[in-house]
């Protein structure tokens, strides 16, 4: 592949259901979503025997969304009676914002993005962990020859994915490596496309690159690897969120949704080539990039006490370090019943370990 690796990001508008595909080098993607609300399905339409669950799914534009796209593209959703309308956003945080505004029925987000939105009152609930990159699936690159360790980033321009877990990761790196965040310039950008373009043009000196854009990053003259998520002594964990009113109105349908996503997870593991084709057909991401991403991503529909403790720690640390304003107990925003019925073997959280 040449230096202009094309990774396509798709944006869906609920009013038009149109997808725009563009290259990372040509333009920066701004997270956006459906502008008009459609009423959520009623309990009768979703839970009646044989009736499909109509659901508006908000997903991101990267590897995090693959379970949903595979479930749709392989026919797994149809098999489980799921009538899904998928809307694509730049990052998981954008899907959460859309769900809070009533533009989608679901959202997905990495730990920090999820934690940041529960400091304000909303009706979203964590229903399952669904996946996240392995430590080596997110890597820190710099284009400066004089930068060989984190301390060398002092005075440099760092690319930051605004409002995402990337803010948390940078914060942990600053803390663990003794770098004063006031001694660097943090440049906040709204998409991976913008970050890549800024890196290529020299606007930012370092940023965290996901697998989908890593090939393009490595081809920037002078680009070199500083490390992976082990630099922050943490990992990303991604969660599926559903609106509480939607859950109560569509209990049987939500159970089928979780089973469908679990089946899509197994499909991805067993059929990487077919998965790459589905993602290419949907997002026009090169199949080689998809196959690279699959090797560095763990998909697993589950919820454990450790998953809850992890996100609770992220929330508490972020409050203590000023990234999140209001302190709260994230356990009060966890819904267990749907996963307990759908995949009981995948739930290892007691009721007293969550707010359910």
pLDDT at 30 over 50: no
Burial of 216: CB neighbours in 10 Å, binned 0-12, 13-18, 19+ = buried
Does 27 reside within a domain? no
Does 28 reside within a domain? no
Domain of 221, in residue numbers: 135-232
What was the pLDDT predicted at 43?
Answer: 35
Query: For 99-103, 117-121, 348-352, which range has the lowest pLDDT when averaged over its residues?
Result: 348-352
In percent, the amount of the chain with pLDDT more than 90 equals: 71
Tell whether 124 and 224 lie within a shared domain: no
Query: For 31-40, 75-84, 174-183, 339-348, which range has the lowest pLDDT when averaged over its residues?
Result: 31-40
Tell whether 130 and 143 lie within a shared domain: no
pLDDT at 35 over 50: no
C-alpha 226/C-alpha 232 separation (Å) is 12
C-alpha 214/C-alpha 141 separation (Å) is 9
Tell whether 219 and 277 lie within a shared domain: no
Tell whether 248 and 321 lie within a shared domain: yes
- For 136-170, write each residue's pLDDT tens digit: 889 999 999 999 999 999 999 999 988 889 999 99
C-alpha 9/C-alpha 89 separation (Å) is 8
Annotate 106-120 with DSSP letters as a single string.
Answer: EEEEEHHHHHHHTTS
Does 121 reside within a domain? yes
Tell whether 93 and 151 lie within a shared domain: no
C-alpha 279/C-alpha 264 separation (Å) is 13
Structural domains of the chain, count: 2
- For 261-290, write each residue's pLDDT tens digit: 999 999 999 999 999 999 999 999 999 989
Among 173, 207, 232, the domain boundary falls at: 232
Vertex 282: Cα angle to 281 and 286 (nearest 5): 60
Tell whether 197 and 341 lie within a shared domain: no
Report the CATH number that the domain containing residue 319 is assigned in CATH.
3.40.190.10
pLDDT at 299 over 70: yes
Among 174, 207, 232, the domain boundary falls at: 232
Using pLDDT thresholds of 50, 70 and 90, give the confidence band for residue 353.
low
In percent, the amount of the chain with pLDDT more than 70 equals: 84
Tell whether 121 and 145 lie within a shared domain: no
129 touches 233 (CB < 8 A): no
Q: Which residues contact 186 (CB under 8 A, 6 or more apart)?
A: 158, 160, 170
Among 232, 257, 273, the domain boundary falls at: 232
Does 51 reside within a domain? yes
pLDDT at 14 over 60: no
The tokens for 248 are 């109560």
Does 9 reside within a domain? no
- pTM summary value: 0.77
The tokens for 78 are 């149809």
More confident of the two residues 3 and 284: 284
């Amino acid at each position: 592949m040449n230096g202009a690796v094309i990774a396509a990001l798709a944006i869906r508008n609920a009013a038009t259901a149109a997808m725009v595909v563009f290259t990372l080098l040509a333009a920066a993607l701004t997270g956006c979503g459906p502008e008009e609300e459609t009423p959520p399905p009623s309990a009768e339409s979703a839970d009646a025997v044989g009736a499909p669950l109509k659901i508006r799914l908000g997903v991101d534009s990267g590897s995090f969304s693959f379970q949903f796209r595979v479930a749709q593209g392989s026919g797994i959703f149809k098999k489980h009676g799921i009538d899904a309308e998928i809307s694509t956003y730049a990052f998981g945080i954008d899907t959460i914002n859309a769900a809070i505004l009533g533009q989608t029925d679901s959202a997905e987000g990495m730990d920090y993005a999820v934690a940041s939105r529960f400091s304000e009152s909303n009706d979203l609930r964590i229903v399952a962990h669904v996946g996240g990159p392995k430590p080596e699936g997110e890597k820190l690159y710099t284009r400066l020859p004089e930068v060989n360790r984190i301390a060398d980033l002092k005075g440099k321009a760092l690319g930051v994915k605004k409002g995402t877990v990337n803010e948390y990761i940078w914060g942990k790196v600053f803390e663990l490596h003794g770098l004063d965040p006031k001694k660097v310039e943090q440049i906040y950008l709204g998409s991976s496309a913008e970050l890549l373009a800024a890196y290529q043009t020299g606007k930012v000196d370092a940023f965290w690159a996901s697998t989908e854009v890593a090939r393009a990053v490595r081809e920037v003259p002078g680009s070199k690897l500083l490390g992976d998520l082990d630099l922050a002594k943490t990992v990303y964990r991604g969660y599926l969120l559903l609106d509480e009113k939607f859950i109560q109105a569509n209990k049987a349908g939500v159970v089928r949704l979780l089973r469908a996503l679990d089946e899509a997870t197994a499909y991805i593991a067993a059929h990487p080539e077919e998965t790459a084709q589905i993602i290419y057909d949907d997002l026009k991401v090169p199949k080689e990039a998809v196959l690279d991403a699959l090797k560095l991503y763990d998909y697993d529909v589950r919820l454990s006490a450790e998953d809850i403790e992890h996100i609770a720690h992220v929330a508490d640390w972020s409050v203590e370090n000023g990234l999140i304003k209001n302190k709260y107990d994230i356990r009060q925003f966890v819904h267990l019943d749907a996963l307990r019925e759908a995949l009981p073997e995948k739930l290892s959280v007691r009721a007293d370990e969550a707010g359910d």
